[in-house]
Amino acid sequence: MGAVTTTAIYSTLATLLVLPASLLLGYAFTFRPTGRYISPLILFSTAIPHTAIGVLLAPIIFSLNITDTGLAIVLGMFIVSTPIGVGVIRAAYAAQGIELEEYLRSMGVRGFRLQWFYLKASPTSILLAALLSWFRSFSELGVFLIIAQRPQTVGIYIFEEFLKSGPGVVVSASLLLLAVALSLAFAVVVLEHGPRDS
C-alpha cells in the first residue's frame, strides 16, 4: 500500500508539472512553425524503450546526486508523460483551429491572452491530458529501474516481489491495479464522449 501511495503522490506532482508544459508546448507545436521542428525532441520518448530513457537520464541524475530520490522519480515521470499531455493538448488546439488565433489577433488580443482563449475552449481536453499523464506516470517502470528504485513505486514493488517470490504474491496486487486502471479508463471514455470542448 505504501508503494501505491508513494506512486500516486509522485504521479500527482509530475502531472502538475506536465500540465503547464503541455499547454505551452501543445500551443507552440500546433501553431508555431518552429514548434513543428522541435516537437520530435519531446515526442522521442514514445519511440524508445523506457529503460533507454533511464540510461540517457542517468548522467543528469548522477551529476545532480539525486539517484533514488523522489525528485528523480518525478523527473522520470515528467519525461515519459509529457508527450501524452502534449499530444492531447495539440489535438484539442488543432480542433479549435488557427482561425481563432487569427481572429483574436485582428481584434487586438496579444501574447498569453491568446492562450487563455484556447484554454477556456478546451476544459475537457485539459482534464483528459491530466488524467492520461497521471496514468502514464503511475504505470512507469523502465526509467525507475535505472535511476530510482527507491522510494519504492508500484512498478518497482511488483518487479522486485516477482523476482523474489514468483508470480503468486504479486498477482493479487496486479489484479487490484488492473481494476483501478479499468475504472479510470472508464472515466476517460466517459470524458471523451461527454461534454465537448466549446
By CB under 8 A, name the binding residues for another protein: 97, 99-100, 102-103, 105-110, 117, 120-121, 198
Distance in Å, CB of 89 to another protein, minimum? 15
Q: Collect all residues with Cβ–Cβ distance below 8 Å to 150 and sequence separation of at least 6.
A: 68, 156
Between 106 and 172, whose beta carbon lies closer to another protein?
Answer: 106
SS3 state at 112? helix
DSSP sequence for 155-183: HHHHHHHHHHH-HHHHHHHHHHHHHHHHH
Nine cell digits for residue 193: 464522449
Distance in Å, CB of 196 to another protein, minimum? 11
Distance in Å, CB of 148 to another protein, minimum? 40
Distance in Å, CB of 96 to another protein, minimum? 9
Between 62 and 103, whose beta carbon lies closer to another protein?
Answer: 103
Between 65 and 198, whose beta carbon lies closer to another protein?
Answer: 198
DSSP sequence for 6-72: HHHHHHHHHHHHHHHHHHHHHHHHHH-HHHHHHHHHHHGGGTS-HHHHHHHHHHHHHHTT-TTSHHH
What is the spatial distance between Cα 38 and Cα 148, in angstroms, rounded to a whole number?
Answer: 28
Distance in Å, CB of 117 to another protein, minimum? 6
Between 110 and 164, whose beta carbon lies closer to another protein?
Answer: 110
Between 16 and 119, whose beta carbon lies closer to another protein?
Answer: 119
